[in-house]
Amino acid sequence: MKHPFSDVSAFLHNPLELFKTHSSPDAPPLVQLNLGLSPVYLVTDAALAKSILKADESAIDKGRLVHKLRTVIGASSLTLSGPEHQRRRGVIHQHLARGIMNDFVPQIAGLIRRHASLLVREPSFDAHDVTAPLALRIIVALLFGNGALTAADESALMEAVHIAEEEMADSLFRVLPRTPWRSFIKRRELGQSRAIMGAVVDRLRNRASSATLLQALESLNLSAGDMRDEILLLLLAGHHTTGNAAAWLLYYLATVPGLATRLAEESEAVMGDSGEIDPLKLPKADLSLRVAREVLRLYPPFYWLSREVRAPQELGGIQLNRGTSLIISSWQMQRNERYWTDPDSFRLDRSYNTPAFMPFGLGPRACVGIGLGLLELQLLALELSSSCELEILSGVPAGKPTPQVTLLPPRIKLRLRPLTQRRKWQRVA
């Protein structure tokens, strides 16, 4: 019989490897993980995972592993359940869906072009050092309007968000309690971080323009504290999730032969008379959407999520009691040879119409920013490929990601140069 804490070390130091060790084709639907005295199971079957994620909250809900995050993001949509969660999610979803169809494409594309115009002047850059701030600027622009974020506020916000993310990671993975002194230090650091973020958010709200996501949030009539928590959640989710995946997208643009050329052709096909991407033509841009989905399959930003059994029931042939935790790993599902051919390779001939594809979760509690995240990655691929060339300066293949709250990319060193310059060199050659 295994010790009840025998998987703790592996979970703390390399959860990706722990999850993958249980992804063989003959693995049972539920695999018990020894992470403490309370029962925890890893869900390895995609169909079962889908049913769990779509289950009624009275049977299976978010549970204590998610509730640990309340110390950082408070009573926000991520930690709430029930009618209040549905109310907030509905308002945010409606605004994002309307923006994706109408307003967001020129706004996001403009920010990407502005970012690229600065990068071509640099001799080299790290992918994530560039994509994380870009993702933050995009979500801030959608929340508060263009020009709301000053350089000083961006720097303060990035540092405060980093502290908050470290605390979220520690909260999720911690099994044993901290010492009293260490707890005091961490509470003080987190308090300072939240105070900085709160001050920046207040300044951004004062500068906000009309027709932004902030207006939609204000229609909820939340308390000042709840409003800050909801905005903080959107900043955290929009910053590192898309920022992480975007770093890998740049890597594949630089390393997959012919991909950038094909994307440039697709970009030209969806351009309007103004020379910018036409939102009405974007649904025809199948290649860039496949690139975005394949990047998210290989490197899902949220590589695991949890649910908790609320009422005794049988799942996967096992009788589970109330309080049992269920871990679903998109990393494990999306790299499982049971569901994917050549699962560790970047391929664009795949079908993603499968419950094993879940980079944002599934069901009524899936990430509300699914459409926005895909749109950002798609536009990044189209805009950069149409105007620039990426050159890889670091090793290929790239190193492995670092699992924290999200999957942090390794150092990926790149160079960006204008496409017209590349074409001129090719003609001379």
Q: Which residue has the tokens 């770093």?
A: 247
Domains delineated in the chain: 73-307+355-417 (1.10.630.10)
pTM of the model: 0.91
Packed helices 104-119 and 370-387: angle between N→C axes, nearest 10 degrees? 50
Tell me the residue length of the chain. Answer: 429
Q: Which residue has the higher pLDDT, 128 or 64?
A: 128
Mean pLDDT (whole number) for 215-243: 86
In which order are the strands placed within the sheet that holds 325-328? 30-33, 40-43, 325-328, 305-309, 60-61
Give DSSP secondary structure letters for 255-320: HSTTHHHHHHHHHHHTB-TTSSB-TTTGGG-HHHHHHHHHHHHHS-SS--EEEEE-S-EEETTEEE
Q: Which two tokens stand for residue 44?
A: 């390895």
**Nearest CA among 276, 252, 144, 268 for reference residue 206:** 144
169-223 pLDDT per residue, tens:
666 656 666 677 777 787 787 788 878 878 888 888 888 776 688 888 889 999 9
Q: Specify binding-site residues for heme.
A: 367
Q: Cis omega before residue 397 (within 30°)? A: yes
Annotated binding residues, as ranges? 367
Instruction: Kindly state the average pLDDT of the residues 387-406.
Output: 93
Q: Report the share of the chain in percent with pLDDT over 70.
A: 94
Record the tokens describing residue 406, joined without a space: 């999200």
- Residues 84-122 have pLDDT tens digits of 999 999 999 888 888 776 789 999 999 999 999 999 999
CA distance 230 to 234: 6
Q: Is the dihedral of CA 241, 243, 244, 250 positive or negative?
A: positive
- Phi, psi at 283, each rounded to 5°: -60, -20
Region 296-303: what's the mean pLDDT? Answer: 93
Of 333, 348, 283, 379, nearest to 47 (Cα)? 333
